Amino acid sequence: MSVEVVVGPLNQKVAHVSRDQYYSYAESLYEDGFHFASDLCGVDYLGNQTRVLPDSVTPERFEVVVSLLSHGSAERIRLRVQIPESDPHVSTLMGIYPGVENMEREAFDLVGIVFDGHPDMTRILLPDGWEGHPLRKDYSVGRVPVQFKGAPGPR
């Protein structure tokens, strides 16, 4: 499996994986002692021209960033997965790291990335009937009236 691992600021290791490699690479990292998923979030790169990626990686609009931690060797590795806008799906990591449940729900809620195989892919912070995903760059701040279930609409 060819996965490009680059070193970022603070000597942080970053692995760029494709969507197909994502689950199996995380599994192999688990075997290597990375038993702890400390963070998972979605990022929207719409309009951001400054992203630096290795040549072998095709940039897409969304990214899922997972931070894994090894308690044994006290080191971190970060997985960055490119997710296309047309098909914002990626497989869930809950089979390896059950602790990402809330974080994946948050990434779905705020950025709109669907994690296939997640047992409870519902909104976690926003109300169930909310429209749109606020952390997307095309979701502007302060223009949408507050939405509440059963509330009267704007005048």
Partner 1 sequence: MTDENLEAKEDLKETSRPSGKSSIGHSSVLRLPESEGVDIDLEESILGPGEKMIVNMGPQHPSTHGVLRVMLELEGETVLRCKPIIGYLHTGMEKTGEELTYAQGATNTTRMDYLSPFANELVFALAAEALLHVEIPPRATWVRMLMCELNRMSSHLMWLATNGMDLGATTMMIFGFRERELILSFFEKTTGLRMNHNYIRVGGIAADLPDGWEDDVDIICSTVEKRLIEYDEFFTGQPIFKKRVDGVGVLAAETAVALSITGPLLRASGVPWDLRKNMPYLAYDEVEFDVVVGTIGDTFDRYAVRINEIRESIRIVRQILDKMPSGDYRAQDSKVTPPPRARIDESMEALIHHFKLFTEGIRVPPGEVYVAVESPRGELGCYMVSDGTGKPSRMHIRAPSFVNLQALPPLLAGTLMADAVAIISSVDPVMGEVDR
Q: Two tokens at 142?
A: 């302060």
Q: Does 59 bind partner 1 (CB under 8 A)?
A: no
Q: Is 135 in the site for partner 1 (CB under 8 A)?
A: yes
Nearest CB to partner 1, comparing residues 18 and 33: 33
Handedness of CA 22, 137, 120, 117 (dihedral sign): negative
Q: Which tokens in the block code for residue 11?
A: 């000597």
Q: Does 3 bind partner 1 (CB under 8 A)?
A: no
78 makes contact with partner 1 (CB under 8 A): yes
Q: What is the DSSP string of 23-68?
A: HHHHHHHHHTT--EEEEEEEEE-TT-------TTSPP-SEEEEEEE
Residue 153 engages partner 1 in binding (rule: CB under 8 A): no
Which DSSP letter does residue 122 get?
Answer: S
- Continuous segment of H or E residues that includes residue 7: strand 4-7
Contact call for residue 97 and partner 1 (CB under 8 A):
yes
Does 117 bind partner 1 (CB under 8 A)? Our answer is: yes
Please identify, using beta-carbon distances, which residue of 17 and 101 lies nearer to partner 1.
Answer: 101
Distance separating alpha carbons of residues 81 and 85, to the nearest angstrom? 13
Task: Choose which of 81, 90, 100, 113 interacts with partner 1 (CB under 8 A).
Answer: 100
Residues forming the site for partner 1 (CB under 8 A):
8-10, 12, 35-39, 41, 43-45, 48-52, 65, 67, 71, 74, 76, 78, 92, 94-103, 106, 110, 117-120, 122-128, 134-135, 141
